DNA sequence: CGCGACGTTGATTTGCCTCAACGATTGTGG
DNA sequence: CCACAATCGTTGAGGCAAATCAACGTCGCG
């Protein structure tokens, strides 16, 4: 089952699974191909899956009352993408999750994950540890968003995730950083002229 | 041990502990009294504890380069307060955690929690489930922060946590909502005149 | 080729900040 | 138990970062 190496290696970075446990985990996986611009989560529908990106890129965004898009997260290989609030509370989603490229994902159903976490201690630990980490990092982002200027945030992101920044459209990055596409464009041209 | 009822009831809302497991959990608790204005977390020191609020109120905030305070979280009874990034990564804190009132907390040491989570499956599940929930709700806040005006955010908070809003100083609430104390004051007076 | 998606640029507007001065309330030491 | 100082909240004037609106390049793809 070379197929499932990426997710199993990811899990192995946090906990040890027995061969049998690993089989149980991979047995609940559904592999799905997703075309660019296709949605895997849409408002109104309960988000049923934790989606692990095997190949490709996604963004999760919210559409507000004024029709503006706010990108909550950008996920590439080895990341999970969902409307996490919808997934955790099993209530209708308020976000879109959209493929930015032709992609392949592993889908884990909510009920399957919950059942397996109750059965396999190590899997529970895996999700505890990874969620704690994700939460900790998201806190940093909240701080960054409210205590830094748009320009600082942009260059911070560039430095931290250069590959992602150059892989996704600029308007996606702008809406992730909480600024308008026009203003991001202006920030960039400003810096180019300086150097 | 009537003492530990609040935390045990909190845990019981998510998982079942055996009597023996519950004893192990309470055995690692250190009860601490904290005076108003006292810090339980400070920049430069690694945040060693998950602090469960038994009585009182806290805020966690970041002091930026311009000397401005940004409140990350406000915690009252039944909440955990830490510099979560520092706690999870066990690196020096960048935030303050300050008592807003005379308070009592249960302190759980990082190493003790990690050891017990490896030993007790149900405890691992407890922290997995609660962290997932906390993370999901924090996502909502990120969205709220970037897609709504200061006024909307304030009245949203008022409706959601009326007791907390009236319990903490206004400048704390302002820095939590990401606005200046002066502007929050103006928002309030505006609304009062309308009604 | 022509259309749609994406990026740029400039003019104008605005939500919120900053600074400064002033009440109101609390608490604390003499 | 009062006086005086902090602490906290209010109010107004002026300024700025970033949004909005609008028009115009440009590239890739069906």
Distance CA A90, CA A59 (A): 20
Which residue of chain A comes nearest to B116, CA vs CA? A125
Domains of chain B with bracketed CATH: 5-118 (2.60.120.10)
Give the number of A-B residue pairs with CB atoms closer than 8 Å: 100
Residue nearest to nucleotide C17 (CA to C1'): B180
Distance CA B121, CA A152 (A): 43
Q: Is the CB of A182 under 7 A from strand D?
A: yes
Q: What is the tens place of the pLDDT at every residue in B105-160?
A: 999 999 999 999 999 999 999 999 999 999 999 888 888 877 889 999 999 999 99
Around Cβ B36, how many Cβ atoms within 10 Å? Answer: 12
From chain B, the residues in CB contact with A125 under 8 A are: 117-118, 124, 128
**Which of A66, A126, A146 should one mutate to test binding to chain B, selecting the residue with the greatest count of B CBs within 10 A?**
A146
Q: What is the tens place of the pLDDT at every residue in A66-99?
A: 889 999 999 999 999 999 999 999 999 999 999 9
Locate B65 and state its tokens: 């380069």
Reported as a pLDDT band with limits 50, 70 and 90, residue A191 is low
Q: What is the pLDDT of residue B66?
A: 85
Q: What is the pLDDT of residue B192?
A: 58
Mean pLDDT of A117-123: 98
Interface membership of B84 toward A (CB under 8 Å):
yes
Please tell me the distance in Å from A163's CA to the nearest CA on chain B.
24
Q: What is the pLDDT of residue A92?
A: 98
Q: Does B38 or A141 have the greater pLDDT score?
A: B38
Helices of type H across B39-120: 84-89, 110-119
Q: What is the pLDDT of residue B191?
A: 67
In terms of Cα–Cα distance, which of A79, A117, A101 is closest to A172? A101
> Do A145 and B142 touch, CB atoms closer than 8 A?
yes
Distances (CA, A) of A77 to A159, A181, B110: 19, 25, 31
Nearest CB neighbour to B178, from listed A137, A140, A146: A146
Q: What is the tens place of the pLDDT at every residue in B48-91?
A: 999 999 999 999 999 988 889 999 999 999 999 999 999 999 99
Residue nearest to nucleotide D8 (CA to C1'): B169
Q: What is the pLDDT of residue A195?
A: 47
Which residue of chain B comes nearest to A178, CA vs CA? B146
From chain B, the residues in CB contact with A138 under 8 A are: 135, 138-139, 142
Please tell me the distance in Å from B118's CA to the nearest CA on chain A.
8
> Do A152 and A160 touch, CB atoms closer than 8 A?
no
From chain A, the residues in CB contact with B59 under 8 A are: none
Distance CA B36, CA B70 (A): 19
Q: Which chain C positions come under 7 Å from a protein C-beta? A: 5-11, 15-20
Around Cβ A124, how many Cβ atoms within 10 Å? Answer: 26
From chain B, the residues in CB contact with A72 under 8 A are: 139, 142-143
Q: Is the CB of A102 under 7 A from strand D?
A: no
From chain B, the residues in CB contact with A147 under 8 A are: 62, 64, 68, 70
Q: What is the tens place of the pLDDT at every residue in A148-174?
A: 889 999 999 999 999 999 999 999 999
Nearest CB neighbour to A142, from listed B125, B128, B142: B142
Q: Percentage of chain A surpassing pLDDT 90?
A: 85
Position B193 pLDDT exceeds 60: no
Interface membership of A64 toward B (CB under 8 Å):
yes
Q: What is the tens place of the pLDDT at every residue in A31-65?
A: 999 999 999 999 999 999 999 999 999 999 999 88
Q: Does A107 or B148 have the greater pLDDT score?
A: A107
DSSP string computed for A120-156: -HHHHHHHHHHHHHHHHHHHHHHHHHHHS-HHHHHHH
Q: Is the CB of A156 under 7 A from strand D?
A: no
Q: What is the pLDDT of residue B195?
A: 47
- Closest-approach nucleotide to residue B66, Cα vs C1': C18
Strands B58-63 and B69-75: antiparallel
Position B100 pLDDT exceeds 50: yes
Interface membership of A72 toward B (CB under 8 Å):
yes
Please tell me the pTM assigned to this model.
0.93
How many CA atoms, within 13 angstroms, populate the side-chain half-sphere of residue A109? 7
Q: What is the pLDDT of residue A142?
A: 80
Position A109 pLDDT exceeds 50: yes
């Amino acid at each position: 089952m070379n197929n499932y190496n990426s997710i199993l290696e990811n899990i192995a970075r946090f906990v040890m699974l027995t061969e049998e446990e690993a089989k149980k985990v991979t047995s609940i996986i559904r592999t799905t191909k997703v075309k660019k611009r296709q949605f895997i989560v849409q408002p109104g529908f309960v988000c049923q899956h934790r989606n692990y990106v095997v190949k490709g890129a996604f963004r999760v965004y919210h559409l507000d009352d004024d029709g503006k898009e706010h990108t909550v997260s950008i996920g590439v290989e080895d990341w999970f993408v969902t409307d996490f609030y919808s997934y955790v509370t099993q209530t209708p989603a308020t976000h879109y999750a959209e493929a930015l490229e032709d992609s392949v994902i592993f889908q884990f159903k909510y009920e399957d994950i919950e059942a397996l976490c109750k059965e396999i201690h190590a899997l529970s630990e895996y999700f505890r540890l990874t969620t704690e980490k994700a939460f900790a990092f998201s806190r940093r982002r909240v701080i960054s968003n409210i205590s830094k200027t748009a320009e600082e945030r942009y260059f911070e992101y560039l430095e931290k995730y250069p590959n992602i920044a150059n892989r996704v459209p600029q308007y996606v990055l702008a809406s992730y950083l909480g600024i308008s596409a026009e203003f991001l464009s202006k920030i960039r041209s400003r810096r180019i002229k300086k150097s």
